[in-house]
């Protein structure tokens, strides 16, 4: 922009102002050229081989699959690889420095001093770390609930026939030194139902997306221990007699409470039976013991008023709750499973047909 100043000369005329010359333009040719394309990565990202279930778990744990080294020879990342990487990252992550944190905090604004209110003696919250068995139980329950789409079917069974059968067999069991509870009877009645509905004795291979039908019948029995709930496993239950089941169950339950069982006695179950009544509960909604696909909870036997053959009578009733994996089992099949189990419990003499 040119600015002209006019000043009066001695003779009163206006003298033309000197014209300002613009500053020379900056030399733009010396600036380095700007690249029009972004720089390419130094190394190309490798293609990660992983099943959808593995990718889902990695996303929930915040794990970058490209950083996980596969343990399989085929290069596929497994669920165990993701968990191991997440556990290692959690153990090796450095704790934040208190000095660095204090340096990053802005200076506090001066405020009028307030009187601090001290908590009443004994009212402070108590904290304790989640460790040991309780931590493993929590992680297992959390993974099962997050991974399996649970659904639960409920029913109620008349336990009159079961009570009569135990009363008749109790003297024989006592002579042989065996403690006969309702649990061995229920387990023995459960086995033919599992064979009739094999999907309930199966598991889902989440990486290969295949249903695995188990040929063995290893029944887990939920047991209350001082540090939490344990599930000892009754292996090859279908090959044992009723008194054999009762004797082995007593040994496993006692070992679970004393924490004397081995790892092989606490893993590998194909189906779990949970006697909520033994904990003093009337009923409950069980969580599936992953990688199983179903769990049956039986409640406490209690006398209730029911209508039987047109008459209001008192009967020992027992609630049932069957939780199942809705990816493999639908409601109709769960209902049929409960109906068959209910039929055997109410008429346990039907087991004799398999022995004749």
Strands 311-325 and 302-308: antiparallel
How many Å apart are CA 285 and CA 320, to the nearest integer?
9
Q: Return the H-helix or E-strand segment holding 125.
A: none
CB 186 within 8 A of CB 296: no
Q: Whose CA is closest to 190, among 253, 249, 149?
A: 249
What residues are paired with 203 via a beta bridge? 212, 292
CB within 8 Å of 335: residues ≥ 6 apart: 153
How many Å apart are CA 221 and CA 41, to the nearest integer?
55
Catalytic-role residue among 10, 290, 308, 326 = 326
Strands annotated E in 22-160: 49-50, 76-77, 150-158
Q: Whose CA is closest to 275, among 339, 214, 232?
A: 232
Helix (H, G, I), strand (E, B) or coil at 331: helix
How many Å apart are CA 315 and CA 320, to the nearest integer?
16
Torsion on CA atoms 336, 340, 346, 349, rounded to nearest 10: 170
Q: Is 326 a catalytic residue?
A: yes
Q: Is residue 223 packed enough to be buried (19+ CB in 10 Å), middle (13-18) or exposed (0-12)?
A: buried
Torsion on CA atoms 191, 321, 267, 50, rounded to nearest 10: 110
The single residue listed with the structure tokens 């506090």 is 108
Catalytic positions are 326
């Amino acid at each position: 922009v040119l600015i002209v100043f006019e000043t009066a000369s001695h003779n009163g005329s206006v003298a033309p102002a000197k014209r300002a010359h613009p500053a020379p333009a900056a030399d733009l040719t010396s600036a380095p050229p700007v690249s029009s394309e972004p720089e390419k990565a130094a190394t190309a990202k490798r293609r990660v081989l992983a099943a959808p279930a593995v990718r889902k778990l990695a996303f929930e744990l915040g794990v970058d699959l490209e950083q996980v080294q596969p343990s399989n020879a085929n290069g596929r990342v497994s669920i165990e690889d993701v968990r191991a990487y997440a556990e290692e990252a959690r153990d090796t992550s450095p704790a934040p420095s208190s000095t660095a944190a204090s340096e990053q905090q802005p200076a506090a604004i001066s405020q009028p001093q307030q009187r601090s209110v001290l908590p009443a003696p004994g009212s402070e919250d108590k904290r304790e770390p989640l460790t040991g068995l309780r931590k493993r139980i929590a992680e297992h329950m959390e993974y099962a609930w997050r991974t399996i789409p649970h659904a639960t079917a409920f029913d109620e069974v008349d336990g009159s026939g079961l009570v009569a059968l135990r009363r008749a067999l109790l003297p024989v069991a006592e002579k042989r030194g065996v403690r006969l509870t309702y649990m061995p009877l229920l387990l023995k009645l459960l086995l033919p139902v599992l064979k009739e509905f094999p999907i309930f004795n199966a598991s889902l291979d989440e990486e290969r997306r295949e249903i695995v039908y188990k040929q063995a019948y290893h029944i887990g029995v939920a047991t209350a221990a001082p540090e939490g709930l344990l599930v000892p496993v009754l292996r090859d239950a279908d090959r044992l007699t009723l008194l054999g089941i009762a004797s082995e169950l007593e040994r496993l339950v006692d070992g679970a409470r004393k924490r004397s069982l081995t790892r092989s006695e606490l893993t590998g179950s194909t189906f779990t039976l949970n006697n909520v009544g033994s904990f003093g509960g009337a009923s409950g909604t069980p969580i599936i013991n992953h990688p199983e696909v179903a769990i049956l909870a039986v409640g406490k036997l209690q006398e209730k008023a029911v209508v039987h053959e047109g008459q209001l009578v008192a009967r020992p009733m027992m609630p049932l709750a069957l939780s199942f994996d809705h990816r493999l089992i639908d409601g109709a099949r769960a209902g049929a499973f409960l109906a068959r189990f209910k039929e055997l419990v109410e008429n346990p003499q039907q087991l004799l047909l398999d022995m004749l």
